[in-house]
Amino acid sequence: MIDAMAILSAANNFAAFVQCYGPALFVRDYGPLLGSALTGFTLLLAYIQFRRSNRNHHAAELKAIEAKQVEIYQRLELQSLSVFRFEAEYRSIIPFYKSNLCPPEPHPRGTDRSQAELTARKYYESTCNLFEIAVRLRKKYNSDIRLGEQNSNKYIITRDYIEDDVFGSWIAWFFDTACEWGFRAVWHDLRDNYAPQLRCDVFDPLIRELIAAWDAEHAAAPRANLTIPEVELAPIRHRFYQAVGKNFGCESALCWVNDIRAEPFPQPPRAFV
Protein backbone atom coordinates (compact mmCIF):
# COMPACT_ATOMS: atom_id res chain seq x y z
CA MET A 1 0.00 0.00 0.00
CA ILE A 2 1.34 3.36 -1.04
CA ASP A 3 2.32 5.61 1.83
CA ALA A 4 0.41 8.87 1.29
CA MET A 5 2.67 10.71 3.65
CA ALA A 6 5.73 9.59 1.70
CA ILE A 7 4.20 10.78 -1.59
CA LEU A 8 3.30 14.13 -0.08
CA SER A 9 6.80 14.52 1.29
CA ALA A 10 8.37 13.68 -2.09
CA ALA A 11 6.11 16.23 -3.82
CA ASN A 12 7.08 18.92 -1.35
CA ASN A 13 10.77 18.12 -1.82
CA PHE A 14 10.40 18.33 -5.64
CA ALA A 15 8.61 21.66 -5.42
CA ALA A 16 11.33 23.04 -3.21
CA PHE A 17 13.97 21.78 -5.66
CA VAL A 18 12.27 23.44 -8.62
CA GLN A 19 11.81 26.68 -6.67
CA CYS A 20 15.47 26.67 -5.75
CA TYR A 21 17.17 25.44 -8.90
CA GLY A 22 14.54 25.93 -11.67
CA PRO A 23 15.51 29.49 -12.70
CA ALA A 24 19.15 28.55 -12.94
CA LEU A 25 18.36 25.57 -15.11
CA PHE A 26 16.06 27.70 -17.29
CA VAL A 27 18.74 30.33 -17.77
CA ARG A 28 21.29 27.63 -18.50
CA ASP A 29 19.11 26.02 -21.16
CA TYR A 30 17.46 29.09 -22.70
CA GLY A 31 19.85 31.95 -21.84
CA PRO A 32 21.52 32.22 -25.30
CA LEU A 33 18.13 32.23 -27.01
CA LEU A 34 16.85 34.95 -24.72
CA GLY A 35 20.00 37.01 -25.34
CA SER A 36 19.55 36.76 -29.10
CA ALA A 37 15.89 37.69 -28.84
CA LEU A 38 16.71 40.69 -26.66
CA THR A 39 19.39 41.83 -29.11
CA GLY A 40 16.97 41.47 -32.01
CA PHE A 41 14.29 43.40 -30.17
CA THR A 42 16.78 46.19 -29.40
CA LEU A 43 17.81 46.37 -33.06
CA LEU A 44 14.15 46.46 -34.12
CA LEU A 45 13.47 49.38 -31.81
CA ALA A 46 16.55 51.19 -33.14
CA TYR A 47 15.39 50.61 -36.74
CA ILE A 48 11.89 51.88 -36.00
CA GLN A 49 13.37 54.98 -34.37
CA PHE A 50 15.69 55.49 -37.34
CA ARG A 51 12.83 55.25 -39.84
CA ARG A 52 10.75 57.67 -37.82
CA SER A 53 13.63 60.12 -37.59
CA ASN A 54 14.36 59.71 -41.29
CA ARG A 55 10.73 60.43 -42.21
CA ASN A 56 10.73 63.54 -40.06
CA HIS A 57 13.98 64.70 -41.63
CA HIS A 58 12.65 64.01 -45.13
CA ALA A 59 9.45 65.93 -44.40
CA ALA A 60 11.46 68.87 -43.08
CA GLU A 61 13.70 68.73 -46.15
CA LEU A 62 10.68 68.76 -48.49
CA LYS A 63 9.26 71.78 -46.70
CA ALA A 64 12.62 73.54 -47.04
CA ILE A 65 12.73 72.74 -50.75
CA GLU A 66 9.18 74.01 -51.26
CA ALA A 67 10.09 77.24 -49.48
CA LYS A 68 13.20 77.53 -51.64
CA GLN A 69 11.15 76.96 -54.78
CA VAL A 70 8.83 79.82 -53.86
CA GLU A 71 11.78 82.08 -53.08
CA ILE A 72 13.54 81.27 -56.36
CA TYR A 73 10.34 81.70 -58.35
CA GLN A 74 9.80 85.14 -56.84
CA ARG A 75 13.40 86.18 -57.50
CA LEU A 76 13.30 85.02 -61.12
CA GLU A 77 10.04 86.85 -61.68
CA LEU A 78 11.49 90.02 -60.18
CA GLN A 79 14.61 89.71 -62.30
CA SER A 80 12.52 89.17 -65.41
CA LEU A 81 10.83 92.50 -64.69
CA SER A 82 14.18 94.20 -65.20
CA VAL A 83 14.33 92.71 -68.71
CA PHE A 84 10.82 93.94 -69.44
CA ARG A 85 11.69 97.40 -68.12
CA PHE A 86 14.78 97.47 -70.36
CA GLU A 87 12.60 96.60 -73.35
CA ALA A 88 10.11 99.33 -72.46
CA GLU A 89 12.88 101.86 -71.91
CA TYR A 90 14.31 101.19 -75.37
CA ARG A 91 10.97 100.69 -77.11
CA SER A 92 12.22 102.61 -80.15
CA ILE A 93 14.99 100.00 -80.66
CA ILE A 94 14.17 96.56 -79.24
CA PRO A 95 10.98 95.80 -81.25
CA PHE A 96 12.99 96.15 -84.47
CA TYR A 97 14.98 93.03 -83.52
CA LYS A 98 12.03 90.93 -82.34
CA SER A 99 10.39 90.07 -85.66
CA ASN A 100 10.88 86.55 -86.98
CA LEU A 101 12.83 87.74 -90.02
CA CYS A 102 15.27 90.59 -90.51
CA PRO A 103 13.71 93.84 -91.80
CA PRO A 104 15.15 95.38 -94.99
CA GLU A 105 16.38 98.44 -93.05
CA PRO A 106 19.82 98.02 -91.38
CA HIS A 107 18.66 99.56 -88.10
CA PRO A 108 15.63 101.27 -86.51
CA ARG A 109 14.79 104.61 -88.04
CA GLY A 110 16.04 107.64 -86.19
CA THR A 111 18.75 105.69 -84.31
CA ASP A 112 22.47 105.15 -84.66
CA ARG A 113 23.19 101.66 -85.96
CA SER A 114 26.05 100.85 -83.58
CA GLN A 115 24.09 102.13 -80.60
CA ALA A 116 21.00 100.17 -81.64
CA GLU A 117 22.95 96.94 -82.07
CA LEU A 118 24.71 97.41 -78.73
CA THR A 119 21.37 97.99 -77.03
CA ALA A 120 19.92 94.84 -78.61
CA ARG A 121 22.98 92.84 -77.57
CA LYS A 122 22.68 93.98 -73.94
CA TYR A 123 19.00 93.12 -73.98
CA TYR A 124 19.71 89.57 -75.13
CA GLU A 125 22.61 89.21 -72.71
CA SER A 126 20.31 90.09 -69.82
CA THR A 127 17.72 87.64 -71.11
CA CYS A 128 20.25 84.83 -71.45
CA ASN A 129 21.57 85.48 -67.95
CA LEU A 130 18.08 84.75 -66.65
CA PHE A 131 17.74 81.72 -68.89
CA GLU A 132 21.02 80.29 -67.64
CA ILE A 133 19.94 80.62 -64.01
CA ALA A 134 16.67 78.87 -64.82
CA VAL A 135 18.24 75.86 -66.55
CA ARG A 136 20.98 75.46 -63.95
CA LEU A 137 18.44 75.47 -61.15
CA ARG A 138 16.34 72.96 -63.04
CA LYS A 139 19.22 70.51 -63.47
CA LYS A 140 22.75 70.49 -62.17
CA TYR A 141 25.57 69.04 -64.22
CA ASN A 142 27.07 65.79 -62.99
CA SER A 143 30.80 65.96 -63.72
CA ASP A 144 31.17 62.24 -62.97
CA ILE A 145 29.16 61.33 -66.08
CA ARG A 146 31.16 61.62 -69.25
CA LEU A 147 29.17 63.12 -72.07
CA GLY A 148 28.43 60.58 -74.75
CA GLU A 149 28.75 57.51 -72.54
CA GLN A 150 25.18 57.78 -71.26
CA ASN A 151 23.07 59.31 -73.97
CA SER A 152 19.90 59.51 -71.90
CA ASN A 153 21.46 60.94 -68.74
CA LYS A 154 23.86 63.74 -69.51
CA TYR A 155 22.55 65.50 -66.46
CA ILE A 156 21.16 64.16 -63.24
CA ILE A 157 18.65 65.89 -61.04
CA THR A 158 20.01 66.80 -57.63
CA ARG A 159 17.20 69.17 -56.68
CA ASP A 160 14.65 70.63 -59.06
CA TYR A 161 14.25 74.07 -57.55
CA ILE A 162 12.06 75.08 -60.49
CA GLU A 163 8.83 73.12 -60.73
CA ASP A 164 7.52 71.57 -63.94
CA ASP A 165 4.77 74.08 -64.64
CA VAL A 166 7.04 77.03 -63.95
CA PHE A 167 9.84 75.64 -66.10
CA GLY A 168 7.33 74.95 -68.87
CA SER A 169 6.56 78.67 -69.01
CA TRP A 170 10.29 79.38 -69.32
CA ILE A 171 10.51 76.96 -72.25
CA ALA A 172 7.85 79.07 -73.95
CA TRP A 173 10.06 82.13 -73.40
CA PHE A 174 13.09 80.26 -74.75
CA PHE A 175 11.22 79.49 -77.95
CA ASP A 176 9.82 82.98 -78.45
CA THR A 177 13.30 84.45 -77.99
CA ALA A 178 14.89 82.03 -80.46
CA CYS A 179 12.28 83.03 -83.03
CA GLU A 180 13.51 86.65 -82.93
CA TRP A 181 15.98 87.34 -85.72
CA GLY A 182 17.93 89.74 -83.49
CA PHE A 183 18.66 86.96 -81.00
CA ARG A 184 19.80 84.59 -83.73
CA ALA A 185 22.05 87.34 -85.08
CA VAL A 186 24.03 87.58 -81.83
CA TRP A 187 23.79 84.03 -80.48
CA HIS A 188 26.98 82.87 -82.22
CA ASP A 189 28.85 85.57 -80.26
CA LEU A 190 26.99 85.09 -76.95
CA ARG A 191 26.88 81.31 -76.68
CA ASP A 192 30.45 80.84 -75.41
CA ASN A 193 29.54 82.83 -72.31
CA TYR A 194 26.87 80.40 -71.14
CA ALA A 195 26.67 76.95 -69.58
CA PRO A 196 26.35 73.82 -71.75
CA GLN A 197 22.81 73.25 -70.47
CA LEU A 198 21.70 76.47 -72.17
CA ARG A 199 23.82 76.04 -75.30
CA CYS A 200 23.52 72.34 -76.10
CA ASP A 201 20.18 71.41 -74.58
CA VAL A 202 18.19 74.54 -75.43
CA PHE A 203 19.35 76.95 -78.10
CA ASP A 204 22.02 75.46 -80.37
CA PRO A 205 19.84 72.86 -82.15
CA LEU A 206 16.94 75.27 -82.63
CA ILE A 207 19.06 78.20 -83.75
CA ARG A 208 20.82 76.04 -86.34
CA GLU A 209 17.46 74.87 -87.65
CA LEU A 210 15.99 78.39 -87.86
CA ILE A 211 19.05 79.90 -89.52
CA ALA A 212 18.93 77.22 -92.20
CA ALA A 213 15.14 77.30 -92.65
CA TRP A 214 14.47 81.00 -92.24
CA ASP A 215 17.48 83.30 -92.31
CA ALA A 216 19.43 81.73 -95.18
CA GLU A 217 16.31 81.55 -97.33
CA HIS A 218 15.26 85.08 -96.40
CA ALA A 219 18.73 86.42 -97.27
CA ALA A 220 18.59 84.77 -100.69
CA ALA A 221 14.96 85.69 -101.43
CA PRO A 222 13.57 88.22 -98.92
CA ARG A 223 10.02 87.68 -97.79
CA ALA A 224 7.63 90.60 -97.74
CA ASN A 225 6.05 89.31 -94.52
CA LEU A 226 8.54 89.24 -91.65
CA THR A 227 6.25 87.08 -89.50
CA ILE A 228 6.41 83.33 -89.91
CA PRO A 229 2.89 81.91 -90.34
CA GLU A 230 1.58 79.70 -87.54
CA VAL A 231 1.23 76.70 -89.85
CA GLU A 232 5.00 76.79 -90.39
CA LEU A 233 5.81 77.70 -86.80
CA ALA A 234 3.68 75.06 -85.05
CA PRO A 235 5.68 71.91 -85.91
CA ILE A 236 8.96 73.62 -84.97
CA ARG A 237 7.49 74.69 -81.63
CA HIS A 238 6.20 71.20 -80.97
CA ARG A 239 9.61 69.58 -81.64
CA PHE A 240 11.37 72.14 -79.48
CA TYR A 241 9.05 71.66 -76.50
CA GLN A 242 9.41 67.90 -76.80
CA ALA A 243 13.21 68.04 -76.99
CA VAL A 244 13.75 70.51 -74.16
CA GLY A 245 11.13 68.81 -71.99
CA LYS A 246 12.96 65.51 -72.45
CA ASN A 247 16.40 67.03 -71.84
CA PHE A 248 15.30 68.57 -68.56
CA GLY A 249 12.85 65.93 -67.36
CA CYS A 250 9.96 68.38 -67.56
CA GLU A 251 6.75 66.43 -68.15
CA SER A 252 4.66 69.59 -68.36
CA ALA A 253 6.57 70.74 -71.43
CA LEU A 254 5.79 67.52 -73.27
CA CYS A 255 2.08 68.39 -73.40
CA TRP A 256 2.31 72.18 -72.96
CA VAL A 257 1.53 73.05 -76.58
CA ASN A 258 -1.35 70.58 -76.79
CA ASP A 259 -2.83 71.88 -73.54
CA ILE A 260 -2.71 75.48 -74.77
CA ARG A 261 -4.13 74.65 -78.19
CA ALA A 262 -6.85 72.38 -76.78
CA GLU A 263 -9.20 75.32 -76.22
CA PRO A 264 -8.51 78.14 -78.71
CA PHE A 265 -8.87 81.52 -77.07
CA PRO A 266 -10.58 84.31 -79.05
CA GLN A 267 -8.66 87.45 -79.89
CA PRO A 268 -10.42 90.73 -79.05
CA PRO A 269 -10.99 93.24 -81.88
CA ARG A 270 -8.50 95.71 -80.40
CA ALA A 271 -5.79 93.23 -79.45
CA PHE A 272 -2.27 94.61 -79.55
CA VAL A 273 1.18 93.08 -79.22
Whole-number Å distance between alpha carbons of 223 and 67: 49
Residue 148 confidence (pLDDT): 41
Whole-number Å distance between alpha carbons of 222 and 102: 9
pLDDT in tens, 62-87: 566 555 656 666 677 777 788 889 99
Long-range contacts of 157-163 (CB under 8 A, 24+ apart): 157/249, 159/65, 160/249, 161/65, 161/68, 161/69, 161/72, 161/137, 162/69, 162/72, 162/73, 162/76, 162/134, 162/137, 162/138, 163/69, 163/73
Residue 141 bridge partners (DSSP) = 155
Looking at the predicted structure, is the pLDDT value of residue 181 above 90?
A: yes
Give 157's pLDDT tier (boundaries 50, 70, 90). Answer: very low
Q: Which range is least confidently modeled, 50-54, 156-160, 191-195, 197-201? A: 156-160
pLDDT in tens, 207-216: 999 999 999 9
Q: Average pLDDT for residues 109-120, to the nearest whole number? A: 93
Residue 141 confidence (pLDDT): 39
3-state secondary structure the chain: CCCHHHHHHHHHHHHHHHHHHHHHHHHHHHHHHHHHHHHHHHHHHHHHHHHHHHHHHHHHHHHHHHHHHHHHHHHHHHHHHHHHHHHHHCCCCHHHHCCCCCCCCCCCCCCCHHHHHHHHHHHHHHHHHHHHHHHHHHCEECCCCCCCCCCCCCEECCCCCCCHHHHHHHHHHHHHHHCCHHHHHHHHHHHHHCCHHHHHHHHHHHHHHHHHHHHHHHHHCCCCCCCCCHHHHHHHHHHHHHHHHHHCCCHHHHCHHHHHHHCCCCCCCCCCC
Residue 163 confidence (pLDDT): 76
Whole-number Å distance between alpha carbons of 83 and 98: 14
* Average pLDDT for the chain: 77
pTM, full prediction: 0.67
Give 226's pLDDT tier (boundaries 50, 70, 90). Answer: very high
Domain ranges of the chain: 76-262
Q: Average pLDDT for residues 28-47, to the nearest whole number? A: 64
Looking at the predicted structure, is the pLDDT value of residue 142 above 50?
A: no
CB 98 within 8 A of CB 180: yes
Residue 6 confidence (pLDDT): 56
Residue 184 confidence (pLDDT): 97
User: ∠272-95-244 over CA atoms, to 5°?
Assistant: 90
Q: Average pLDDT for residues 10-24, to the nearest whole number? A: 53
Percent of the chain with pLDDT over 90: 38
